[in-house]
Structure 1
């Protein structure tokens, strides 16, 4: 598919669901203009990129999540590394859906888009609900990668502290291994909606943590503070622990290393040590 075709298809999807959006500058309602731009009543304008995503940041924001990191993350995801997690999330959502109703899902912190895509696909295979999927991330590189690879959702570059969406638009908000803004989530979630937050357990990437942080306080991870913070804003109706092991062959060790912030700031010697071992053994 050409970039021009992708842009037109994405703009048409946005036009169909334009009531979901609000201007991130003046908070006014937005409309799709000539399948080119989202524009509000105060003439704030945000173009649909050729790749099919819309950048709704009011100013450029530099992050540590560069294009190369998302390429590594895609390799890891497409190996099946996160498939049991995505299946579990999908099944939780499916159990809560009302039959044959329009359902809208926001992945806040979507990265390169794999999680949202696989969750959406599983829901569509197992229900008759019409489904709007929206992925947003502050990283332009991540969203650009998502829109280039997947045409099944609306992809937006946006700030989680100032989401460009109208109030109470989403039945489900996903927040998968990503920072959260619970005030915004409370504003965006529909009545009787559901927020699903995925946080690392104590043993998540334990083999990497043991090497990178051996002898430091970071070697042992606790998610208690994250859980407590979530509970301050939402009633926790259920906690599901998902635990599985993945064997990594030689082609996956470097992508795993490079996709996670765990490797940031570590020494070259420790990076080389991980590359010399098989984490599945």
Structure 2
């Protein structure tokens, strides 16, 4: 009964906003049918899952992120490690929403939805607004987890290179510590919309990097190529730097290692060294790039 009610809640949200969608296969308009499926005018049909999300991929796609990775990221998020970042992004959205229309926010590469859900919560806490939140990711495990947490948002399994949405439908596109597809972002943004991209800065989790990559070229990180590429694609309106220290208890060290790609490709010996260090603090360091579509 609980799962059925969650599906119906999500289906009703999808139906309310079905004008957003276009078929990923033929680009035709779509509508929700019998609160069960999202169907285009050429009869391509995508069922609403019992968890409340829609899988709009035409074929399965592999990702390095698994269920455990998303569980770790949700745990880290719930323990407040990203809270100052959420506050900053929420403020950018509130400061730049200039109309009386509901805010339409797309989180591209949303994973298990923690970032989008926390930003939505922060906006409601600070200045309640009518906000339509949409999260997309290529990982079915991530989207399933996101939908279970918040059935009032729209969650889709899809490829960010082929987003199942009509053009110019989003006022804000979030891209937080995730790969981007700028041609799709340009298509999806409304005339006065903004892309808010969060990238790691050089000291992000430096305490981990120094151990995991000691003696290698990866020990020092630079985001200059990412920032330069963003500037070629969008008008760079502003850049915010956010750096802070967070306290850790020992139970969070393993999840912190497990949620970040920093631990991929390094040796078990170095991972064990981090676990044995009993770190008390880590550095969170981000650049927030704010851009608009070039005319």
Deviation by residue 1:48-106 (Cα, 9 ceiling, x = unmatched) = 10001110111111111110111111111100011110011000110011253221000
2:236 maps to what in 1?
236
Question: What CA distance in whole angstroms lies between the structure 2 residues aligned with 1:93 and 1:115?
Answer: 14
C-alpha contact (below 8 Å) 1:22/1:30 kept by paired residues = yes
Q: Would you say the 8 A contact 1:100–1:128 is kept in 2?
A: no
Which residue is equivalent to 1:276? 276
Aligned to 1:90: 90
User: Could you tell me how far apart the structure 1 residues matched to 2:118 and 2:268 are?
Assistant: 34
Give 1:121 shift.
Answer: 1.6
Alignment of 1:117-156 (within 5 A): 117-156=117-156
Distance 1:278 1:190 in 2: 47
Please state if 1:201 is matched with 2:193.
no
Partner of 1:249: 249
In proportion to residue count, which structure has more strand?
Answer: 2
Contact 1:99 1:127 (8 Å CA) reproduced? no
- Choose 149-158 or 52-61, whichever is displaced more: 149-158
Q: TM-score, normalised by structure 1?
A: 0.98
Alignment of 1:1-281 (within 5 A): 2-98=2-98, 100-280=100-280
Whether the 8 Å contact between 1:100 and 1:130 is mirrored in structure 2 is no
Contact kept? 2:9, 2:152, Cα under 8 Å: no
8 Å contact 1:99–1:129 — kept in the other structure?
no
Instruction: Determine helix, strand or coil for the equivalent of 1:7.
Output: helix
The alpha-carbon deviation at position 128 of structure 1 amounts to 5.0
Q: Is the 8 A contact 1:132 1:153 kept in 2?
A: yes
Moved over 6 A (4+): none
Which whole-Å CA distance do the structure 2 matches of 1:159 and 1:51 have between them?
Answer: 20
CA distance in 1, matches of 2:21, 2:213: 42
- Unaligned stretches of 5+ residues in structure 2: 282-295
CA contact (8 A) 1:101 1:129 kept: no
Q: Secondary structure at the match of 2:156?
A: strand
Equivalent residue pairs, number: 281
- 1:243 aligns to what SS in structure 2? strand
Aligned to 2:284: none
How far off is 1:279 after superposition?
2.3
- 176-185 or 119-128, larger mean C-alpha shift: 119-128
TM-score, structure 2 as length reference: 0.93
Q: SS of the residue aligned with 2:237? A: coil
Match of 1:241, SS state, is: strand
Please, which runs of 5 or more residues in structure 1 have no aligned partner?
Answer: none
CA contact (8 A) 1:28 1:41 kept: yes
Task: Say what the alpha-carbon RMSD is for the aligned residues.
Answer: 1.1
Inter-partner Cα distance in structure 1 for 2:206 and 2:128? 39
- For residues 131-182 of structure 1, the C-alpha deviation after alignment (integer angstroms, 9 at most, x for no partner) is 1100000011100011111223101101011011110000000000000000
Shift of residue 126 of structure 1? 3.4
